[in-house]
Amino acid sequence: MILPEKHRHLFADPIGELIDDSHVSGECILREIEGSPCVITVGDRTTERLLSYGITPDLQIVDGLEQRQPRPLPRSSAFIINCSNPAAHITDDAISAIRKAYTSESPICIRVHGEEDLLVIPALIYAPDYSVLVYGQPNRGLVLVRAEQATKNRARRLMELLERDDETVAV
């Protein structure tokens, strides 16, 4: 499925709580994820940041890019699953990788060939209840989303805005 240009502005606002870069610390993140059954990161820099705090996310979704520029992948001991997901898309391949990751022994790293930005949506939809998903909001900070009914419903509504195309199928 592809995100039409007319709906892209709806995906710019954080889904969860935005923590300003100046307030992000290992202590802060540990407090927020305490008791969570699963910690998910979307984005290379976000994943690297949590790893630097000594936090190994159960699911790491990365693409080897930071603000569309190539960068080294975060160093992690996670098992790697590869998938394809072009920019502005959510592919069946990516959804399958996410669903597989949630049923596998963690940590798992999904290496996206393409772009991982929109994969916050299916990662949240399929996350175990009460998991915490963390992703970056460029030039602002980190967004923490709790996988609860309200946030999952919001993610489903956003997913409904995507349109079918040849490369993808609906969730």
Say which residue, 165 or 23, is predicted with more confidence: 23
Name the pLDDT band for 8 (thresholds 50, 70, 90).
confident
Instruction: Write the pLDDT tens digit of every residue in 74-101.
Output: 788 889 999 999 999 999 999 999 999 9
Rounded Cα–Cα distance for residues 128 and 102 (Å): 8
User: Is residue 116 situated within a structural domain?
Assistant: yes
User: Is residue 123 situated within a structural domain?
Assistant: yes
User: Is residue 94 situated within a structural domain?
Assistant: yes
User: Is residue 165 situated within a structural domain?
Assistant: no
Q: Which whole number is the average pLDDT over 3-21?
A: 87
Put residue 127 in one of left, alpha, beta given phi > 0 → left and psi -120 to 50 → alpha. beta
Query: 169 is written with which tokens?
Result: 């199928």
Q: Whole-model pTM?
A: 0.91
Query: 133 is written with which tokens?
Result: 């998903």
Output the average pLDDT for the chain: 92
Among the ranges 22-26, 71-75, 160-164, 166-170, which has the highest mean pLDDT value?
22-26
Distances (CA, A) of 171 to 8, 10, 28, 35, 164: 19, 19, 34, 29, 11
7 phi and psi angles, rounded to 5 deg: -105, 0
Greatest alpha-carbon pair distance for the chain in Å reads 45
Instruction: Write the pLDDT tens digit of every residue in 116-166.
Output: 999 999 999 999 999 999 999 988 999 999 999 999 999 999 999 999 876
User: Is residue 21 situated within a structural domain?
Assistant: yes
Q: Does residue 69 surpass a pLDDT of 90?
A: no
Full residue range of the structural domain in which residue 59 is found: 5-128+149-160
**Do 140 and 109 meet the contact criterion of CB atoms below 8 Å apart?**
no
Q: Which whole number is the average pLDDT over 60-87?
A: 87
Total structural domains in the chain? 1
User: Is residue 133 situated within a structural domain?
Assistant: no
112 phi and psi angles, rounded to 5 deg: -90, 125
The pLDDT assigned to 5 comes to 80
